[in-house]
Structure formats: structure tokens, C-alpha cells
């Protein structure tokens, strides 16, 4: 489906924390983001999907994990990203995943990587990724998880 360049694309992402690590996604050559771009497992909300269902689907597609508990972060993020060869405005609805099953596995668009939280600042994350991870950590503390 072609996107109108002036339209804002609704997207979702998932923050998965395991101990002192976070799951990131390293985009390969077949992704619509530039090759080597690193971000959270994320993608567009498809027609007819709720944001929560889309978040679970994206985690499964990009990382091979099945989300059991997804909590929406209380903030919506907005950014213009290089996507599909052009600058595209996005509205980003992130979720914190506190329970999952499955094995982390790569897909045709790239590979998931576990990164120590203290090393996340070494990466230039897509959009507001750094802030989203910090907000997810705060939410995890508030939830007592």
C-alpha cells in the first residue's frame, strides 16, 4: 500500500527488558529504514488492528517472541524518520513487554540484539528510542516489576 507522503503513519514498538539488557532491532538491507539503523522492535499499525495487537505482532515478526503482557507507555512520540527512501512523519505508540515466550530469532528485515542498558547510549537509535527506553524503565518501576 502506498503511503501519502504528507500523512502521518501510526506505528507501535515494544520495549523488552531482561535483567539489565534491552532488546533492540538492527535493520538489514531489506528493511524500509536505512541499513544498519537500530531501534526497538516496531512497525506500522495495519488496518483493523488495535495498537496492542500490532505491538504483539511486530515483536513476533521482528524478534520471534510472543508477548504475554503489554503495557502502553503513557506518552505518544512523534518524529520524522528516513523511511522507504524519504522523510516520513510517524506517530509512535510504545509498549512495555513484561512477560514473553519463545526464542529470539532474526527475520528477513534484520536481527534482534540484546544490549546492556548502560551501553544503549552508544547507539544512535531511530526516533526517540533512548527516551522511550527510559520511560519504559520508569513504568516498570511504577508497576513494581
Of 89, 85, 77, the closest CA to residue 133 belongs to 77
Domain boundary assignment for the chain: 20-143
Whether this prediction's pTM lies above 0.75 is answered by: yes
pLDDT of residue 56: 98
Chain centroid, CA 29 distance in Å? 18
Q: Residues 109-122: pLDDT tens digits?
A: 889 999 999 999 99
- Give the residue ranges of the chain where pLDDT is below 50: 1-4
What's the topology of domain 20-143? Nucleoside Triphosphate Pyrophosphohydrolase (3.90.79)
| Alpha carbon distance 108, 49 (integer Å) | 23
| Alpha carbon distance 31, 34 (integer Å) | 7
pLDDT of residue 33: 55
Q: Residues 55-66: pLDDT tens digits?
A: 999 999 999 999
pLDDT of residue 86: 82
Amino acid at each position: 500500500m502506498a503511503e501519502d507522503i504528507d500523512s502521518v503513519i501510526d506505528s507501535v514498538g515494544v520495549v523488552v527488558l531482561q535483567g539489565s539488557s534491552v532488546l533492540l532491532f538492527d535493520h538489514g538491507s531489506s528493511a524500509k529504514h536505512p541499513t544498519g539503523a537500530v531501534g526497538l522492535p516496531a512497525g506500522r499499525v495495519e488496518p483493523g488492528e488495535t495498537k496492542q495487537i500490532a505491538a504483539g505482532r511486530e515483536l513476533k515478526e521482528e524478534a520471534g517472541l510472543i508477548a504475554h503482557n503489554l503495557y502502553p507507555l503513557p506518552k505518544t512520540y512523534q518524529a520524522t524518520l528516513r523511511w522507504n527512501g524519504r522523510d516520513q512523519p510517524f506517530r509512535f505508540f510504545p509498549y512495555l513487554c513484561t512477560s514473553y515466550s519463545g526464542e529470539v530469532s532474526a527475520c528477513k528485515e534484520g536481527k534482534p540484539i540484546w544490549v546492556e542498558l548502560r551501553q544503549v547510549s552508544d547507539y544512535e537509535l531511530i526516533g526517540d528510542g533512548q527516551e522511550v527506553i527510559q520511560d519504559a524503565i520508569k513504568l516498570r518501576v511504577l508497576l513494581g516489576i
